[in-house]
Amino acid sequence: MTTPQRTTIPDTIRTNGATPNPWWSNAVVYQIYPRSFQDTNGDGFGDLKGITSRLDYLADLGVDVVWLSPVYKSPQDDNGYDISDYRDIDPLFGTLEDMDELLVEAHKRGLKIVMDLVVNHTSDEHAWFQASKDKNDPHADWYWWRPARPGFEPGTPGAEPNQWGSYFGGSAWEYCPERGEYFFHQYSKKQPDLNWENPDVRHAVYDMMNWWLDRGIDGFRMDVITQISKTIDKNGKLPGEPGSEIEDYPVGPEGYSSPFPWCSDGPRVDEFLAEMRREVFEKREGFMNVGEAPGVTPARNEHITDPANGELDMLFLFDHVGVDQKPSSKWDVVPFEVKNLREKMAGQQEAVKDTGWASLFFCNHDQPRVVSRWGDDSTEESRVRSAKAYGLLLHMHRGTPYIYQGEELGMTGAHFKSLDQYRDLESLNAFRQRVEEAKIVSPENMMDALELISRDNARTPMQWDASTYAGFTAPDAAVEPWISVNPNKAEINAASEFDDPDSVYAFYKKLIALRHERAVIAAGDWHLIDADDEHVYAFTRTLNAEKLLVVANLSGRTVDLPRESAELVATGVAEPDVLISTYGASHAVVSLANGELDPWEAVAIQL
């Protein structure tokens, strides 16, 4: 394990409620999507050697932790989130020796490596699942197997055990002729859900996790970990199964009911996570674990991340990144409003004000680029300003910030116009199901939704320079990248921003440094002000006698400074009081004196 190369927060300052404070209290995490980060062998896919080659870039940026999306052996049905061997590296990314080299080189630079871990489900090509097809094998009960509905021929429409639909489209049940039964999959039909009710499953997972930690990694980000516990009746039946005591919800317009209410934050989640903590992490130091948490409320986040409960360090909540989507479907989009984002993030902050911890993110491999989603990428100026505004807003909250590759450059969404440009399984399945099968939306409207929401918006290659393939792979590579490079690579790339003091990259370096230097940013109390303003998101941060004001105009128009914020700066602000601003300190001083904020103007001020 490595030692952080930065000032740690004194134990006299409360962070998550643990004593001593965890090392990650003022850390910043950088997420890498390996297949889109850096290709070194010209096959069109990023690889581990590519990540190693860019470690100096990450060290210069100042981040502390690198989170890798899955690099395990996989058929790549869902880009590696379908794992066929947990203890090997997929040849697409390299070898175990390449992984060992990455660990050594990262640790030399004071960077920790956190691996993505997918244990709600495996690939259908995993040895466990292959063995599970045999009812007499010891693995027979390692997945959710069910017989066909009585009175129906197995494998025919209507024979599925209940009416659940997959989040990736179609039924959540797939018939297996070898076993003569159906298996349950919340996601792709090549991603069967593991049966965590079986203790043998759980301990096999814990053994694997210990194997990786013994090898030298520094922790895990756990994919959809709060979906490992399913709601079942006293006889072990799922809702809606024949004979189940639990009635399922009605089917929706796409022809299925949703497993989400029954499989998210289920009845045994706390038990399973506490067991994992004991079996894997309890006797170790220097690690970090964070769980992706579908269905978890801010109040539950407080419980799960309270160190006294011995579960997880952090969770990713999703209520704030759904503010432009209807509850019925992520593809039914609604206009973004500042008040909705503010309400959700305030709820997350308030929930952990006494104990527990917050994860801070707008972007990741499953979320579109924030600058295109809620900002404005229509002009270079508005792109830069809005990228900085959302960066400042996020990083001034209490918790641990996560930067997704390219976010620090202000990379934009893909803006694909043709369906054949998309690679994402979820997006392609959704188009087929909603447009071609259920016929509940027009092709044009669905393409608009994909342009705004599709996961592929975050997955275009990292833009290192202005060359043919943006430096992701060699300009003369025989194979094109697995997904198209964004055409704006000439205007947005690391090479052009690296030494530019006004770039988004330079702005993020300053945000990271401020968190390292000022405990008030990482751990100070958070208090919302001007809660009803239409355009401005404002709050204070307080630690003992130190107090900061953060105001962010999340619009492309000049607006009045809200009342409570104006009262706090009524006596005037000098340039040394401005910690960071999207326009610069001198401009911020004038704006505040005039009682207004220019388009996308955001500022953090020492009061």
CA dihedral of 101, 104, 109, 113, whole degrees rounded to 10: 90
Query: What is the rounded CA–CA span in Å between residue 375 and residue 386?
Result: 5
DSSP 434: I
Sheet of strand 288-292, all strands in order from the earlier edge strand to the far edge: 314-316, 288-292, 219-222, 112-117, 65-68, 29-32, 400-404, 359-360
Let me know if 279 is exposed, middle or buried by CB neighbors in 10 A (0-12, 13-18, 19+).
Answer: middle
Rounded Cα–Cα distance for residues 223 and 419 (Å): 27
Q: What are the backbone dihedrals phi and psi of residue 30, each rounded to the nearest 5 degrees, phi first?
A: -120, 120
Distance CA 492, CA 284 (A): 42
124 is catalytic: no
Q: How far apart are CA 415 and CA 448, in angstroms?
A: 9
Q: Can you tell me the distance from the alpha carbon of 170 to that of 131, in angstroms, rounded to the nearest whole number? A: 25
- Partner residues linked to 602 by β-bridges: 552
Across the chain, which distance is largest between two alpha carbons, in Å?
Answer: 78
Active-site hit among 292, 311, 408, 424: 292
Pairing of strands 219-222, 112-117: parallel
Per the CB < 8 A criterion, the answer to whether 69 and 116 are in contact is yes
Instruction: Determine whether 480 is an active site residue.
Output: no
Write down the catalytic residue from 47, 116, 223, 241. 223
Residue type, 144: W
Which residues are marked as active site? 223, 292
